[in-house]
């Protein structure tokens, strides 16, 4: 007698109604996902909102690995939102090994809270991990002797830090190094090499725009127009002279923070101290007459030649001298690569 097997009926496993699938994910996988999120965060809220979601995400979101991967935009804090909790969060990220947090907190401590030692130490911590903006900021401090007296300037150290930052691709450092070689400032004068570096800085500026935009707009000035753009709103950047509509380079979040801080009521400038006249810098003098002023008009001052070159092309060349004089002298500018005026120190008459 043959027995026919009964067909198997699929068994359905019913999940408890109160079961959350997220609880079944291992911590390592959640930490990996949070690392990706923190590194690609477009604003601080992208990371902070995760910490407020639940206790588990709060615990794993504060994991040192997650904090160490946070990108620059995760620390793009506005000056009006500064608080002690923000300070603790930046310190927590810096202790986790995040170089951006070390640089950001170092700049804020050095310039906003006048804690020169701890601020420079945090920037040096980031610089030792090849953080280009930190290297350049330390170079500016060495060039100006910031936090000390005029005798604390170390031009050779500034040039060395600029060279390292330029090697890592920092455009402002490359431009500063070109000016140092061209002027013999802290290094043996080499005009040809200096101008080559300035042209290279312009080329890197253009390359960064091409990478970030799918289409680059080129302008051909009209024959009857002496200036392609009289307001500077559509021809910003150092490549406008070549007919290229390149926007001004985006400032680092901490530079925007410094500018907002000192222009607000929270961070008033000390007596006789001035901000760098370049709008994307935000650095402030640590002693009276620390920055060098424009040698033509004497009305603006800059922390570096890099800031002067950017501000000259974006704004100051239309304000520095009468328009008729600019038309007469624009063809006889010594600096062929950038076309900027000179700077003069004013401390010799003070100290």
Per DSSP, the chain holds a count of helices (H) and strands (E) of 14, 3
Residue-range definition of the domain harbouring residue 283: 253-318
Buried b (16+ CB within 10 A) or exposed e, 182-207: bbebbbeeeeeebbebbebbbebbbe
Residue 189, token pair as written in the block: 């004068």
Q: In the chain, what percentage of residues exceed pLDDT 90?
A: 35
- The span from the CA of 101 to the CA of 122, in Å, is 9
Is the model's pLDDT at 190 over the cut of 50? yes
Burial class (CB in 10 A: 0-12, 13-18, 19+), 78: middle
Is 64 within the bounds of a domain? yes
Instruction: Please report the pLDDT score of residue 341 as a whole number.
Output: 57
Beta bridge partners of 294: 343
- The span from the CA of 171 to the CA of 205, in Å, is 7
Residue keyed to tokens 């101290």:
273
Is 313 within the bounds of a domain? yes
Is the model's pLDDT at 11 over the cut of 70? no
Is 334 within the bounds of a domain? no
Count: domains in the chain: 2
Buried b (16+ CB within 10 A) or exposed e, 149-181: eeeebbeeebbbbbbbbbeeebbbbbbbbbbbb
Short-list 122, 141, 123, CA closest to 133: 123
Short-list 153, 244, 238, CA closest to 198: 238
Query: Among 188-192, 212-216, 223-227, whose mean pLDDT is lowest?
Result: 223-227
Mean pLDDT of 297-310: 86
Is 203 within the bounds of a domain? no
Choosing from 70, 88, 105, the residue where a domain stops is: 70
Is 217 within the bounds of a domain? no
Q: Which of 36-45, 259-268, 322-331, 333-342 has the highest mean pLDDT?
A: 36-45
Is 178 within the bounds of a domain? no
Is 36 within the bounds of a domain? yes
Is 122 within the bounds of a domain? no
Query: From residue 264, how far is each of 37, 82, 203, 260, 268 by CA, in Å?
Result: 32, 12, 36, 6, 7
Choosing from 16, 42, 70, the residue where a domain stops is: 70
pLDDT tier at 119 (50, 70, 90 boundaries)?
Answer: very high
| 94 within 8 A of 107, measured Cβ to Cβ | no
Rg for the chain, CA atoms, rounded: 26
Distance of CA 252 to the CA centre of its chain: 3
Instruction: Please report the pLDDT score of residue 44 as a whole number.
Output: 87
Is the model's pLDDT at 346 over the cut of 90? no
Choosing from 51, 70, 89, the residue where a domain stops is: 70
Higher pLDDT residue, 149 or 3?
149
Query: Among 158-162, 200-204, 340-344, 346-350, whose mean pLDDT is lowest?
Result: 346-350
Higher pLDDT residue, 133 or 232?
133
């Amino acid at each position: 007698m043959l027995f026919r097997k009964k067909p198997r009926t699929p068994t359905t496993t019913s999940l408890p109604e109160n079961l959350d699938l997220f609880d079944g994910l291992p911590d390592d996988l959640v930490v990996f996902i949070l690392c990706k999120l923190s590194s690609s965060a477009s604003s601080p809220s992208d990371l902070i909102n995760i910490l407020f979601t639940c206790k588990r995400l709060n615990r794993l979101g504060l994991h040192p690995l997650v904090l160490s991967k946070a990108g620059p935009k995760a620390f793009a804090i506005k000056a009006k939102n500064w608080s002690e909790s923000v300070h603790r969060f930046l310190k927590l990220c810096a202790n986790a090994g995040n170089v951006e947090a070390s640089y950001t907190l170092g700049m804020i401590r050095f310039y906003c809270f006048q804690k020169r030692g701890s601020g420079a130490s945090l920037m040096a911590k980031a610089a030792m991990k090849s953080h280009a903006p930190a290297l350049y900021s330390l170079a500016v401090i060495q060039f100006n002797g910031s936090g000390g007296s005029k005798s604390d300037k170390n031009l050779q150290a500034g040039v060395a830090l600029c060279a390292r930052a330029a090697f890592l691709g920092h455009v402002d450092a490359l431009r500063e190094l070109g000016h140092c070689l061209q002027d013999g400032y802290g290094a043996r004068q080499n005009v040809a090499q200096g101008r080559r570096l300035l042209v290279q800085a312009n080329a890197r500026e253009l390359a960064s725009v091409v990478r970030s935009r799918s289409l680059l707009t080129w302008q051909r000035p009209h024959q009857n127009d002496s200036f392609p753009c009289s307001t500077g709103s559509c021809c910003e950047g150092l490549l406008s002279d070549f007919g290229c509509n390149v926007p001004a380079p985006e400032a680092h979040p901490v530079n925007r923070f410094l500018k907002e801080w000192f222009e607000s009521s929270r961070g008033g400038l000390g007596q006789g101290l001035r901000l760098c006249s370049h709008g994307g810098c935000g650095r402030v003098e640590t002693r009276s007459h620390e920055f060098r002023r424009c040698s033509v008009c004497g009305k603006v001052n800059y922390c570096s030649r890099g800031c002067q070159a950017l501000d000259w092309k974006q704004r100051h060349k239309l304000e520095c001298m009468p328009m008729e004089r600019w038309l007469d002298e624009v063809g006889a500018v010594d600096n062929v690569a950038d076309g900027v005026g000179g700077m003069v120190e004013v401390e010799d008459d003070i100290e």
